[in-house]
């Protein structure tokens, strides 16, 4: 999903190619996932050829169109009984992933309760009224939970995609003032880097695992590479010091794999323009491998 209309820094549209070149398919095949298939990239117009439009919701028509294409693809993959891995792109793509994922289960007699593990330095829970930038990658989770303009909240199909009470954040460290209020009102669960510093990563991780065992039948993992400290992942759209370290990020994926609840994943904000020897893309591959069963020991 080579979309980079959602933020100010461009280059994340090359993220999917960087992740593939870092050996994703080979890594997954080594894990005995014998039917690994790369679909054609979602067709998206070039950012430099488009007008940003409304400053409160920049590039809205382009993002909406791209995310509806993604939603259709994700829905088809899930209905066929497969596990979608979505490669971004900026984090606005979660709008399409969650719309497609939830659409695939809408007509089931017993709908599964879907939880979202949102691993990100940012809340992405602004609306057009609260956002200081008008960048939609900072509104995508709010919209998926039903907050914001109808073009986003009703993307692909009308209605709320995810109950915010089933959303758990890990790694937060940069949240806008009004965004904090909205997240609190919505009832999301969030663990900040300060929580990790105070309690230790293992205690926070245990709380996350308990959360999903009690709040979800299936889990979608949305992983923004900027949650990791730039020392380990320099090639991201918004690098912020003080993030997760290499082992903490891998351990989170390893433990989520053990729950057997994870049925889809996206990894976003790999920006090769800002990367060093493709190390951020290589780490993205390692994270995906751990989530899909790679172990240090038998």
DSSP symbols for 13-47: GGHHHHHHHTTHHHHHHHTT-TT--PPPPPP---G
Nearest Cα neighbor of 7 from 56, 58, 50, 49 is 58
pLDDT for res 48:
77
**Cα separation of 292 and 277, whole Å?**
25
pLDDT for res 284:
98
Mean pLDDT estimate for the chain: 95
**Cα separation of 208 and 226, whole Å?**
19
Give the pLDDT band (50/70/90) at residue 242: very high
Angle (CA) 182 184 186, round 5°: 70
**Cα separation of 16 and 36, whole Å?**
15
pLDDT digits (tens, 9 = 90+) for 36-65: 898 989 989 887 788 999 999 999 999 999
pLDDT digits (tens, 9 = 90+) for 190-211: 999 999 999 999 999 999 999 9
Q: What are 247's two structure tokens?
A: 């082992």
pLDDT digits (tens, 9 = 90+) for 1-16: 999 998 887 899 999 9
pLDDT for res 33:
80
**Cα separation of 102 and 157, whole Å?**
10
The torsion region of residue 190 among left (phi > 0), alpha (psi -120 to 50) and beta comes to beta
* In the chain, alpha helices (H): 15-21, 24-30, 60-79, 94-105, 140-144, 150-153, 177-186, 193-199, 201-215, 246-259, 279-291
pLDDT for res 7:
84
Q: What are 119's two structure tokens?
A: 């691993």
Domains, in order of start, for the chain: 12-291 (3.40.800.10)
Mean pLDDT of 92-101: 98
Q: What are 91's two structure tokens?
A: 């984090």
Indicate whether 298 pLDDT > 80. Answer: no
Indicate whether 103 pLDDT > 90. Answer: yes
85 sits in which H/E element: strand 85-87
Tell me which DSSP letter residue 112 carries.
P
pLDDT digits (tens, 9 = 90+) for 210-220: 999 999 999 99
Indicate whether 234 pLDDT > 90. Answer: yes
Burial pattern 14-32, b for ≥16 Cβ within 10 A else e, equals bbbebbbebbbeebbeeee
Indicate whether 283 pLDDT > 80. Answer: yes
Tell me which DSSP letter residue 168 carries.
E
Residue for token digits 């995810």? 162
**Cα separation of 36 and 26, whole Å?**
9
Catalytic residues: 91, 120, 122, 124, 137, 224, 226, 269
Pairing of β 262-268 and β 218-224: parallel
**Cα separation of 92 and 50, whole Å?**
17
pTM above 0.85, yes or no: yes
pLDDT for res 245:
97
The answer to whether 74 and 104 are in contact (CB under 8 A) is: yes
Mean pLDDT of 21-29: 94
Mean pLDDT of 62-76: 97
The torsion region of residue 242 among left (phi > 0), alpha (psi -120 to 50) and beta comes to left
pLDDT for res 66:
96
Contacts of 86 (CB under 8 A, 6+ apart): 1, 70, 74, 93, 97, 264, 265, 266, 267
pLDDT for res 292:
96
* CA dihedral sign of residues 12, 277, 120, 98: positive
Q: What are 116's two structure tokens?
A: 């979202």
């Amino acid at each position: 999903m080579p979309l980079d209309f959602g933020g100010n820094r461009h280059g994340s549209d090359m993220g999917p190619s960087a992740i593939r070149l870092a050996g994703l398919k080979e890594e997954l095949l080594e894990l005995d996932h014998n039917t690994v298939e790369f679909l054609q990239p979602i067709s998206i117009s070039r950012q430099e050829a488009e007008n940003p439009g409304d400053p409160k919701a920049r590039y809205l028509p382009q993002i909406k169109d791209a995310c509806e294409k993604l939603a259709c693809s994700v829905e088809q993959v899930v209905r066929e009984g497969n596990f979608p891995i979505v490669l971004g792109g900026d984090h606005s793509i979660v709008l399409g992933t969650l719309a497609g994922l939830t659409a695939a289960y809408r007509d089931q007699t017993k709908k599964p309760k879907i939880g979202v593990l949102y691993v990100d330095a940012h809340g992405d829970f602004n609306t057009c009224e609260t956002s200081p930038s008008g960048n939609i990658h900072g509104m995508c989770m709010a919209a998926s939970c039903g907050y914001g303009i109808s073009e986003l909240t009703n993307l692909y199909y009308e209605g709320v995609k995810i109950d915010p009470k089933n959303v758990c954040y890990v790694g937060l460290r940069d949240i806008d003032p009004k965004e904090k209020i909205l997240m609190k009102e919505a009832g999301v669960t969030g663990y900040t880097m300060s929580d990790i510093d105070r309690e230790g990563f293992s205690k926070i991780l245990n709380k996350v695992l308990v959360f999903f065992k009690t709040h979800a039948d299936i889990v979608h993992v949305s992983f923004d590479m900027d949650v990791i400290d730039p020392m380990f992942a320099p090639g991201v759209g918004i690098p912020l010091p003080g993030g997760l370290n290499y082992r903490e990020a891998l351990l989170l994926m390893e433990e989520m794999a053990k729950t057997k609840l994870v049925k889809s994943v996206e990894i976003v904000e790999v920006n090769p323009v800002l990367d060093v020897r493709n190390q951020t893309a290589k780490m993205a591959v390692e994270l995906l491998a751990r989530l899909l069963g790679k172990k240090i020991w038998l």
